[in-house]
Amino acid sequence: MPSPVSGSIGTRIRIVQVAAGGGLVRVSHTLLLTDLGQVLSFGTAMYGQLGHGFSAGKTLQDEIRPKFVDALKPYRCTYISAGELHSAAVTEDGDLYTWGDGFCGQLGLGNKRPRVLPEQVTLGGLEDECVESVSCGYRHTLCVTEDGECFTFGLGHFGVLGRSYDPYQYSLVIDGEEVEGLLQEEVSQPDVGQFHAREDNEAGSAITDEMRAHLDLLGNLTLDDPSNQCYPVVVDVLEGINIVGTSAGHRHSMLLDDAGGIYTFGCGKNGKLGHGDEEKQEYPLKVLELRDKNIKISQISAGVDSSLALSTTGEVYSWGKATKGRIGHVGEDYEDILSPLKVNLPIKSASIDCAYMHSVIIGLDGSIYMCGEVGINGDDDGQIDESPPRQIANFNVWHRTPEAKEEVKREEWKKYGKYELKGRSKAMAEADKAWNA
């Protein structure tokens, strides 16, 4: 059941945004944004995704309680996002800061080096742009400017960048000679989902010979990479379209325009792009099913193999991998949903969030509905008994717990003749008692 996060935050701190990161590699972290623009983080720190820098002994210390990111205190932040192993924040001046794992260029800092402290993204002309929002995915990042342009950077193999890109360049030493080439021409990118114990592949080792070859190759890659995956580049095919929202998933991405239309691109497996098939899309393609029904969208959320969308009228639509009830649909007919399908809820909705094995929907009355479930280990992940979205009992997001207030005891002043002394009666009583003794 939900329980309040206590300790180290303060009783007068207002949290206005929460970003939960982590995922398939079994590490996780969380970012909090206060109403004063301060950022807190807690969770796993092994890749620097908390942004606290090194502790004593050059170690990265995990945090079990929210801790302020000191490097961002000089700035007032307005937006935060947490990816699997990296994090990002936008300041009120429109500057973008990233930190954490950068091995795939997802930090946008021009190389694949990690950062343990937040660093401003200035490459690709982003320094002269005013960033409004950012979304961190599995190994890529999307951000939107106030002009409605979308910039992308990071791992582009699945088509999640929505633009043309140069594959990673690498330098190998074979028999004492340096050999240069392109990563994708040497070894194809494996299905990273296979590294995790999937529900449909519980037995046997998930590591194949192709994966071992790929990992051997990655072990010889340099951290300096001049490819355009390592710095922000605008998605030029959307010129003339005003983008107002983004959501970076595991192997796909979603964009929202100011007219309520959705564009998706990346891996199409399980139908998570919503185009009626499982084809890969390397460039943004509008979801025509919603357009043809004149359904306007106000919020989007991309998960691992699924997608959610919230309409302007409070209806929730989902598509992609639907097993275990993770996106609100149950039954044998709802394993892979290739086009947007309305989720049956008893109330209009106000917010949505799509994750790995579950989704969360918030109703207009503050009630919370859970779709799917997360277990305690790889074998138990997923809801065992499929059921439609179910409401979390005795919990409402609009009902705020009263703040703890320090009780102050006040002593009243009493008058004795022409003198006014505080506590004189108590002092006189103690004196009488001592005299009688």
3-class DSSP state for residue 206? coil
**185 neighbors 167 (Cβ within 8 angstroms):** yes
Place of tokens 């990071």: 154
pLDDT at site 204:
41
pLDDT at site 184:
42
Q: In what order do the strands lie in the sheet with 358-363?
A: 349-354, 358-363, 368-372, 390-391
Q: Which of 324, 151, 173 is nearest to 243 (CA)?
A: 151
pLDDT at site 24:
64
**% of the chain surpassing 70 pLDDT:** 77
In order of 179, 411, 427, the CA distances from 431 in angstroms are 95, 19, 6
pLDDT at site 173:
44
Strand-pairing partners, residue 243, are 257
pLDDT at site 385:
57
**320 neighbors 301 (Cβ within 8 angstroms):** no
User: What is the bridge-based pairing of β-strands 358-363 and 368-372?
Assistant: antiparallel
- Residue 252, token pair as written in the block: 């796909």
Write out residues in the chain with pLDDT < 70, as ranges: 7-8, 24-25, 168-222, 374-386, 400-426
Burial 400-427 (b: 16+ CB within 10 A, else e): eeeeeeeeeeeeeeeeeeeeeeeeeeee
Give the start-to-end residue ranges of the domains of the chain.
15-168+226-391, 169-220
* Calpha distance 410→332 (Å, rounded): 67
* Calpha distance 227→157 (Å, rounded): 13
pLDDT digits (tens, 9 = 90+) for 387-416: 789 998 888 888 765 655 666 666 665 555
3-class DSSP state for residue 195? helix
The CATH classification number of 15-168+226-391 equals: 2.130.10.30
- Residue 317, token pair as written in the block: 């639509």
pLDDT at site 7:
66
- Residue 211, classified by CB atoms within 10 Å of its CB into exposed (0-12), middle (13-18) or buried (19+), is middle
- Residue 128, token pair as written in the block: 């002269």
- Residue 176, classified by CB atoms within 10 Å of its CB into exposed (0-12), middle (13-18) or buried (19+), is exposed
* Calpha distance 65→226 (Å, rounded): 38
- Residue 171, token pair as written in the block: 């330098």
Residue 104 has a CB neighbour count (10 Å cut-off) of 22
Place of tokens 């340096």: 178
pLDDT at site 335:
87
3-class DSSP state for residue 307? strand
pLDDT at site 2:
78
In sequence order, the 6+-apart residues with CB closer than 8 A to the CB of 345 are 316, 328, 361, 363, 369, 389
Q: Which of 385, 344, 351, 383 is nearest to 365 (CA)?
A: 351
* Calpha distance 306→243 (Å, rounded): 21
- Residue 269, token pair as written in the block: 């497996």
Q: Which of 182, 178, 160 is nearest to 170 (CA)?
A: 182
pLDDT at site 360:
94
